[in-house]
Each structure stands twice: as structure tokens, then as C-alpha cells.
Amino acid sequence: MRGLFARLLAGGAAYQAASLLSAVLALVTLPLYTRALSRADFGIAETLLTFIILASILLRFGLGEAFVRFHFQTPEEDRDRLARTTTATVLLTTTLAGLLAMLLAGPLSRLLLGFEDAGLMRIAVVGLWAFTNLEIAYALLRVEERRRAYVAASLCNVVLTVTLTVTLVVVLDGGARGYLAGNYLASVVVLAGLWWLLRGRIGLRPQMRLGPLLAFGVPTVPAEATVFALHVIDRAYLLRTQSAAAAGLFALSVKLATAVILAVRAFQLAWPPLAYSIGDDRQAGRFYAAVTTWYVVATGFVVAGLALLGRWLVRLLAAPEYFEAHEALPWVALGWSMYGLFLLVVTIGGRAGVTTRNFPAALAGVVVNVVALVVLVEPLGIAGAGIALVLAYAVMLVVLHFLTRRLFTVPFEWGRLAHAVALLAGVVVAGELLAPDGGAAGFALRAGALALLPALFVVTRFARPEELAALRRLWSSRRPRKAR
């Protein structure tokens, strides 16, 4: 078990390295962007960025997920052909779809944004093509656990992206177009570099039957697209029913939830290859349960910090006109942490080879999300959109667990999960009710409440003796040894 946790942490750290740099740079540059971009421009650009990811999910046909799953079941001599088949199929579909979208850029912009801007839409189409193919190239690196190559490529992507975006938005005053172009021109460069590095496994035409890959992957698409649609629906709803400025405020709350999103994305990249590589079902079940427990603790601590200190974070990192973004921040952070839990439960069905049950859960979540948006946004504004996101993920988790619990047995630690949630929620509620929401005294009291959380976990004996021993061994192994 300890070796599996080490692999998960090592993989997560490698995939997190670029994301960590990206998060730091994103937070550092937020004061620049929020002063160079109006709330409306920021909302429009961020809404398009989420549409790009949603369209990418549809264009991949689940082949990225199928490739990761089938890589471990394919004989080594056939793995290059599997890779060439996957990359060639995605390249062809994205190129054809991109050419069509270029021709229809004007009508598409009216459909998605409510106004016509063909130039902005064409930049988004280039971004869609680059992002989708880059995701597949990254998948090739992940299955082979080529962490150094992954880190180098993703770090280059981050540095180039930030450099181009600052130049286009701040220096050249490129507005929403500059913000969007800066995010994806770097991806084109990095994609070309990875194609050269992986040239033996990049194909121009499929070399294996697509049937088995599509049979596994296509059923995952409705669920994955529906799940991610939650992040599109909220911004699109705010854009159309409130204003582009409201969508911009909500988008900023997502940016400020970076610490949670960083952990979830690292988990999303590192988890599936490891989860599927465990041969023994009993060992896998115990490992899944332990990962669930500690995932809740780790991400819950970050969510608690954002809930207690969000106001000060917004004041520090954004222009004054963006301050209202703090209202949605705790809910957005909680929603993203629940998304990571949903990914873990999805793996249970994937391990059993059943992917069709994800869609009913995702559809239930979308229905709840839409209803909650209609009910909550008018009285609560962007906070209502954040609460709607949390309600949607709660429903999705319950439905998916009910549908998959008999496919593969995972002995979830329900008592410890309730213990962790009670401590985290109790400290946040106490801080909100008892501490001021402004000033130095408010910050000190809330920061003190957050600092108290680890002690509460120790005092209430949350961790088991063997877990504490493992943590002590890990800490000892990380400490520098004295020279003799």
C-alpha cells in the first residue's frame, strides 16, 4: 500500500510541477490581467476557454481514456501501433472539425456568446485543435510514466503561455483576443516539439481496429462532457441572464480556487494509470478507500482556507472592481474538490469495464445544476451559481455510487469521512460566525482557526497508528542527512 501511495504522489508531483508554476504565475499576473481587461472581456474570454475544453472532450471520442486503459492490456510489441492509431484518429477529427468551424466562425460566436466576433472564434478554433492533440500527446507520456519529459513539455507550455499572454494583453492591449491567443499559441509550439519527440508513436492514419477503443471510450464521452458542461453552463447562464461582468467575476473565483484545481488536476492525471495498473482487486479496493479518505482531508483543508480567507485573497490579487468574486470562491473550491471525488468513483466502473453508468449520474447533476441556477442566481448572484455547482456534484456522487457499488467493492471508510467533514465544516462555520469579515483582527482570527485544524485531527485521533508511522518515515526520508 505504501508503495502505491508513493507512486501516486510521485506521479502527481510530476504532473503538478508545471501546474504549480502555472498557478503561481497565474496568481502573480492576475493583478495585471484584471487591470488590463474589463470584467466583461475577462468573462467572455474565460467562457470561451471552457467551451474549448468541452468541445475537446467531444472530439476525442473518449480515445484518450481508452488509450490509457488499453495500453496496459496490449502486448508491448503492439503498443506503438495503438499509439499511432489513437493520435492519427484524433488528429483527423480535430482537423476536419476545425476547418468546418473556421468557415462558420461568425454564426458560432453568435450562438455561444450572443454577439458576432468571427476573429475571436477563429482563435478559439486554433486553441481547440492544439489543446485536443496536446492532451493525447501528454497521455502517451503518462502511460509510460515519462515524468521528466512531461514536466519539461508542460513547463515550456506554461512559460510560453504566460509570456505571450502578458505581451498580448498588457503590452499590446489585445483584450479578450489577446488573452485567448496567449493561452493557445504556446500549445501549438509545444505540440510540435512533442510530436517530434514521440515521432515513432505519432500516426497519420489508424493502424489498428478502432472498434475496441471506441467501444470503451465513446460511452465515457456523454458522461465526461456532461460533467464538464457544469463549468460551461454556469458561466454561459451568467453571461446571458446577468451580464458579461458577472461571468467575469465568477471566472475570477475559479482562478482564485487554483490551489484546489491544482490538486484535482494532478490527481486526474496521476490516478487512472495507477488505479488500473493494480492487479489484485482486494488490494485495489483498500487502496481506493484510503485514497478517498486522505483526498477529502487534503482538499478539504484547502477549501477551508479559501472559505475563511477568500476576501483577503481577492483584495491581494485582483483589481478592486473584482472584489465581489469572493462570494462564489468557497463554493467553487468545494465544487472542484467534489469533482475529484467523482473522478475516483468513475474509476470503479472503468476498472470493471463498465462505462455506461457514468452518464445517468452526470445527467442528473446537470439537471440539478440548471434548476439550481434558475432558483439561486437571481437572489444570490454569483454565490448562487457556486452553490448550484456544489449541489450538482453532490447528486452526481450519490447517483454514481449507487449505480457502481456492485460492480467493484470498495470498503469506503464512512466513519472517518464523516469525522473529517465534521471537523472541516465546523471550523469554517465557527470562523464565519465568530470572526470579523475584514481588518487585521478578522484575518488573524480566521488564520488561527485554519491553523488549528491539523491539531484537531491529531487530538481527535483521526489518523491510524500505521499512517502516522508512515508519515514519520516519509518525513525522515525527506530530511537532509548531515555530512559525516
pLDDT digits (tens, 9 = 90+) for 157-195: 888 988 999 999 999 999 989 999 998 898 999 999 999
CA–CA distance from 9 to each of 3, 4, 15, 274, 478 (Å)?
A: 10, 9, 10, 11, 14
What are the φ/ψ torsions at residue 481 (nearest 5 degrees)? -85, 140
Alpha helices in 242-280 (DSSP H): 244-256, 258-277
pTM as predicted: 0.76
Q: How far apart are CA 101 and CA 122, in angstroms?
A: 8
Q: Which of 4, 80, 122, 43 is nearest to 385 (CA)?
A: 43
Ranges in the chain, pLDDT < 50: 5, 478, 481-484
Q: Which domain holds residue 183?
A: 2-412
Taking every pair of C-alpha atoms in the chain, what is the biggest distance, in angstroms? 72
Distance CA 332, CA 329 (A): 5
Any domain includes 250: yes
Which pLDDT score is estimated for 272? Answer: 65
State pLDDT tens for residues 25-49: 777 788 888 888 888 898 888 888 8
How many domains does the chain contain in total?
1
Helix 39-60 / helix 220-241 crossing angle, nearest 10 deg: 160
CA-CA distance, 207 to 190, in Å (whole number)?
Answer: 25
Neighbours of 477 (CB within 10 A): 8
Per the rule left: phi > 0, alpha: psi between -120 and 50, beta: everything else, 114 is left
- For residue 250, give the nearest of 431, 377, 67 by alpha carbon: 377
The answer to whether position 452 is within a domain reads no
In this structure, is residue 70 part of a structural domain?
yes
Residue 469 counted as domain residue: no
**pLDDT score, position 449:** 92
Q: Is 444 part of a structural domain of the chain? A: no
Does residue 133 sit within a domain? Answer: yes
